[in-house]
């Protein structure tokens, strides 16, 4: 069992075979009827033939359309899946554009799904708009990242040719993400971000990764040898497939030889993620340097020389990159962003659906528990054929919009029951769960029928958790197979923490039931 995928691929063959059998059996019948109708006259005979042949043609056409559509959808899904697992660089521009279009369409479809909460649908709005805008206007975002006070804002100011972003010798000047158009090129924005501190490294890497999502080109601004946190940042951005330029800022701090040595060292350390010409030394601020000057009389005096900023090598490299690769980078990033959006949207929808699904499981587990507790006979087969579980599975399928009928649900449940027996090593489930429950403090009150009820509740919850996983994963065969999923979920459901939780919930349900009865009897 649990072969729904294989079954569905066999479906067209089965349908064709059924049609062939039908034609063979019906042909005799058709001929006999034709002979009968022929006696009424040629008009009737012709009418009969046209109806039969036309009807058959329509039936066959419908069958082929349905089969064709099924086959096309499966093929499309497989292609989409394969494409999503490939890096943008492995896809042609038209394939990338097609995927962006499909990803946006998928999220828009989720947005128009009225069975999802309005809040959830609204949450997706700004994300979709951002990508759609980027697609429409094609603005390339160049984002500066780096340690606090490395000179990100100064560098962007110099690139922009005016003081737009505030700078200060004290760290932490920039606190939000700010953006301006870059006069150096058409449809390019410069984005400033808050500096990353050495402390809370991991947390800040995460913040940076979030902020970097929309970046097309990243300027990692450093002011000396790479710190561990800066290397980790470059690694995170590299893993996100960002195009990175490393700017060794405050080059005035170093002598020419030392500066070149530093650039080579950084290029060497980051070569996995950054191209060697993309490590560039810059000076983003006017600096004052003291120089000794020899006068005409041979005496020396100290003078202060102002050195203007120098970002030319960086600006040239940026222009070159935008000119030669801008469109490709933009499209690749649009694709990555749209993939991120689909994942995010799916994650949020799944979370909401999981919530609804667990409510269904909760309702059914106590229904099943009540039925088991009140039953005068021991429940021999705890799973297969259990009406409550079947209904629960069908309700769960509906929540995840998966098609499932009663027969398949019962088959799946009976298969699951075999796993249960396997897990319990042939012991009846009630006895096994009962002995487990006895080890929980506070479960001593659970005797007789109540114990049976609790066992049924745990098993129903286990079934629910297996199916939540199955439906949540679009009815795909689980990784590691069904037996593994069943075992994992069983271990989860029968962990001491879960069992305690279930006993507590049972107590609550019992006392709620009692007080309900008392209130009614008053």
Chain-centroid distance of CA 20 in Å reads: 44
| 170 versus 272: smaller Cβ distance to Mg ion | 170
Q: Does 173 bind ligand GTP (CB under 6 A)?
A: yes
> Of residues 230-249, which lie at the interface with ligand GTP (CB under 6 A)?
249
> Which residues does residue 504 pair with via DSSP β-bridges, in sequence order?
none
Look up residue 386 and give its DSSP letter. -
User: Among residues 242, 243, 250, 364, which is the contact residue for ligand GTP, using CB under 6 A?
Assistant: 250
Nearest to 15 by CA among 65, 50, 55: 65
Bridge partners, 289 (sequence order): 305
Largest CA distance in the chain: 137
Q: Which is nearer to ligand GTP, 149 or 337 (CB)?
A: 149
Partner in contact with 229, chosen from ligand GTP, Mg ion, none, beta carbon below 5 to 8 Å by kind: none
Show contacts of 403-408: CB within 8 Å, 24+ apart: 404/475, 408/4
By CB under 6 A, name the one of 148, 180, 209, 505 that touches ligand GTP.
148
Q: Which is nearer to ligand GTP, 146 or 370 (CB)?
A: 146
Taking CB under 6 A as the binding criterion, the range among 60-68, 283-291, 368-376, 497-505 that sits at the site for ligand GTP is: 283-291
Whole-angstrom distance, CA of residue 357 vs CA of residue 395: 8
Q: Which does 284 bind (CB under 5 to 8 A by kind): Mg ion, ligand GTP, none?
A: ligand GTP
Closest distance of CB 216 from ligand GTP, Å: 20
By CB under 6 A, tell whether 159 contacts ligand GTP. no
Contact assessment for residue 201 and residue 229, using Cβ atoms and an 8 Å cutoff: yes
Considering only 113-121, 127-135, 151-159, 441-449, which stretch makes contact with ligand GTP by CB under 6 A? 151-159
- Report if residue 4 touches ligand GTP, rule: CB under 6 A: no
Q: Which three-class secondary structure state does DSSP give residue 224? A: coil
135-164: which residues touch Mg ion (CB under 5 A)?
152-153
Q: Does 252 bind ligand GTP (CB under 6 A)?
A: yes
**Residue with smaller CB distance to ligand GTP, 174 or 337:** 174
- Contact yes or no for 409/397 (Cβ under 8 A): yes
Give φ, ψ of 299 to 5 degrees.
-80, 160
Nearer to Mg ion, 174 or 205 (CB): 174
Decide: 247 and 219 in contact? Cβ < 8 Å. yes
Q: Determine if 312 is a binding residue for ligand GTP (CB under 6 A).
A: no
Q: Establish if 193 lies at the interface with Mg ion (CB under 5 A).
A: no
Token pair of 282, please? 């810059």
Tokens of 157: 């100011």
- Describe the crossing of helices 118-137 and 93-111 by its angle, rounded to 10 degrees: 150
Is residue 215 within 8 Å of 191, Cβ to Cβ? yes
The residue with its CB nearest to ligand GTP is 195
- Smaller CB separation from Mg ion, 96 or 153: 153
88 binds ligand GTP (CB under 6 A): no
**Residue numbers of the site for ligand GTP (CB under 6 A)?**
146, 148-154, 167-169, 171-174, 195, 249-250, 252, 283-285, 287
């Amino acid at each position: 069992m649990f072969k729904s995928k294989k079954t569905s691929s066999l479906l067209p063959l089965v349908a064709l075979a059924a049609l062939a059998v039908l034609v063979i059996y019906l042909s005799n019948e058709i001929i006999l009827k034709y002979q009968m109708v022929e006696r009424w006259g040629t008009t009737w005979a012709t009418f009969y033939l046209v109806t039969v042949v036309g009807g058959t043609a329509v039936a066959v056409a419908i069958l082929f359309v349905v089969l064709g559509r099924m086959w096309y959808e499966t093929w499309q899904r497989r292609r989409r899946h394969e494409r999503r697992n490939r890096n943008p660089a492995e896809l042609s521009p038209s394939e990338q554009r097609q995927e962006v279009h499909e990803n946006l369409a998928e999220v828009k479809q989720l947005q128009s799904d009225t069975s999802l909460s309005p809040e959830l649908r609204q949450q997706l709005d700004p994300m979709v708009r951002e990508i759609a805008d980027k697609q429409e206007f094609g603005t390339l975002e160049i984002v500066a990242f780096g340690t606090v006070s490395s000179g990100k804002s100064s560098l962007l100011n110099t690139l922009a040719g005016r003081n737009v972003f505030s700078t200060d010798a004290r760290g932490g000047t920039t606190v939000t993400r700010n953006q301006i158009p870059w006069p150096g090129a058409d449809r390019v924005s410069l984005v400033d971000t808050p500096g990353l501190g050495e402390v809370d490294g991991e947390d800040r890497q995460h913040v940076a990764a979030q902020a970097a999502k929309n970046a097309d080109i990243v300027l990692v601004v450093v002011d000396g040898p790479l710190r561990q946190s800066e290397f980790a940042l470059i690694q995170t951005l590299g893993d996100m497939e960002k195009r990175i330029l490393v700017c060794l800022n405050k080059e005035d701090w170093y002598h020419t030889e030392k500066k070149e040595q530093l650039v080579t060292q950084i290029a060497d350390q980051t070569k996995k993620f950054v191209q060697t010409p993309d490590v560039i030394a810059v000076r983003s601020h006017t600096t004052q340097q003291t120089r000794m000057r020899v006068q005409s009389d041979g005496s020396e005096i100290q003078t202060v020389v102002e050195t203007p900023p120098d970002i030319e090598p960086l600006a040239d490299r940026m222009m070159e990159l935008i000119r030669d690769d801008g469109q490709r980078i933009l499209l690749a990033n649009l694709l990555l962003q749209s993939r991120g959006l689909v994942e995010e949207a799916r994650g949020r929808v799944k979370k909401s659906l999981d919530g609804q699904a667990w409510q269904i499981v909760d309702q059914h587990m106590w229904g099943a528990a009540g039925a088991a507790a009140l039953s005068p006979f021991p429940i021999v087969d705890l799973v297969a054929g259990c009406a409550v579980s079947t209904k629960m599975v069908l309700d769960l399928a509906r929540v995840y919009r998966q098609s499932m009928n009663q027969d398949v649900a019962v088959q799946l449940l009976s298969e699951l029951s075999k796993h249960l027996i396997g897990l319990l090593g042939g012991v009846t489930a009630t006895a096994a769960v009962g002995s487990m429950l006895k080890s929980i403090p506070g479960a001593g009150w659970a005797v007789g029928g109540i114990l049976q009820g609790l066992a049924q509740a745990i098993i129903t919850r286990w079934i629910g958790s297996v199916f939540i996983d199955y439906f949540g994963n679009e009815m795909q065969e689980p990784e590691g197979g069904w037996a593994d999923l069943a075992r994992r979920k069983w271990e989860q459901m029968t962990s001491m923490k879960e069992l305690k939780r279930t006993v507590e919930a049972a107590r609550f349900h019992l006392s709620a039931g009692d007080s309900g009865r008392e209130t009614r009897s008053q």
